Amino acid sequence: MDRRAELAHEFERQGPYLRGLAYRMLGSIADAEDALQECWLRLDRAQPDDVATIRPWLTTVLGRICLDQLRARRSRREDFGNAWLPEPVVAAYDSPEEDAVRADAVGLALLVVLETLNPAERLAFVLHDVFGVPFDQVASIVGRSPGAARQLASRARRRVRHVPPEPPDRAPADRGIVDSFLAAARGGDFAALLELLDPEVVLRLDVGDGPRPMSGPVSGSRPVADFLRSGAPIFAPLCRPAVVNGGPGLVVGPAGRVVGVVGLTLAGGRIWEIDIVADPAKLHRVRRDGW
C-alpha cells in the first residue's frame, strides 16, 4: 500500500469519529461533510509520518476548520434570530438505521444550546466533554492556555446542564407520548395537548428564508397548545412518528414530500421542547432517504 492509500484508509477508519465531532460542532450535516473534505485535503497535502498517532492530528485540523466555519457564520446567523435550528438526523422506528442513529444520538435541544455558545466555548465543550480530548490539545486549537481552555469548557457546561437527559431505554415510553401527542393534535383536543406539555414548554420553528409565522420561540403550555392547534388541521394528518436525532419526533408531509421534521425533547413524562425544522435547505437528506 502506498503512502497516500495508507492515509486514505486511516482517514476512512476515523470517519465515524470525525463525522460525529464535525456535526456536533456545526449542527449541519452538509457543513460537516464540507469540513471533512477540507480535512482530507489538508491531510493529503501534509502527509504526516506516523499513521498510528493520526487521530490527534486529525482532531486538531478538523477542530480548527470547524472553528473557522463557526466564526465566519456568526454574522449570518443573526438574520435567523432565535429561529435557527440544526439540520436533523432522521430514522424510521424499527429500521436498520434506528440503532445507529440512537447510538450516536445528539438531541436537537443540546444542539440548540450549543448554538448559543461562542465558537471557542463550543469547541472546548465538544472536544473535551464529549470526545475526551485533553485540554492541552484544546488549548492549541483555540490559541489559549490550558487554563483558559478549561474555563471555556466550564462556561459551556453551565449552559448545557439545563438540557434534560434523554436515556436510551425510554424509547418505548417515548413512542407512547408521541402517539398521544399526535392523536391530540389530529383530534384538536386542547385539554389533551395541555396535559402532554410541560408548563414551561418551548416551541421553536425554523423556516429558513421563508415567511415567519412568529418572531421567536413560543413559551408556556397554553401559548404552545394554541399555536399547535392553529396548524393541526393542515399538518397533523401528514405527520408520521420517527426517530429524530436519537429521540422521539415526527416527519411532516406525504410520502416523498417532506415539509418539516419535528424533534421532541421529553422530561418527566411530558414534552419539554418542540423543535420544528421547516427550512427546505435542511430537509434535502431526509427527502433523499425516501421519506
For the domain that residue 147 is a member of, what is the CATH number? 1.20.140.160
- Lowest-pLDDT choice from 12-16, 17-21, 255-259: 255-259
| CA-based nearest residue to 234, from 185, 267, 269 | 185
**Does residue 101 form part of some domain?**
no
Cell numbers for 262: 419535528
If asked whether residues 156 and 172 sit together in one domain, one would say: no
Domain that holds residue 283: 168-288
Question: How many whole angstroms from its chain centre is CA 56?
Answer: 24
φ and ψ of 134, to 5 deg: -65, 150
Residues in a beta bridge with 270 = 267
Mean per-residue pLDDT of the chain: 87
Identity (one letter) of the amino acid at 17? Y
pTM score above 0.85: no
User: Would you state the pLDDT for residue 285?
Assistant: 86
Whether residues 20 and 148 fall in one domain:
yes
The answer to whether residues 201 and 113 belong to one domain is: no
Measured CA to CA, the distance from residue 242 to residue 249 in angstroms comes to: 5
The residue out of 131, 160, 189 marking a domain boundary is 160
SS3 47: coil
Residue 106: strand, helix, or coil: coil
Q: Which of 128, 160, 192 is the last residue of a domain?
A: 160
C-alpha grid cell, residue 73: 457564520
The Cα–Cα gap between 35 and 37 comes to 5
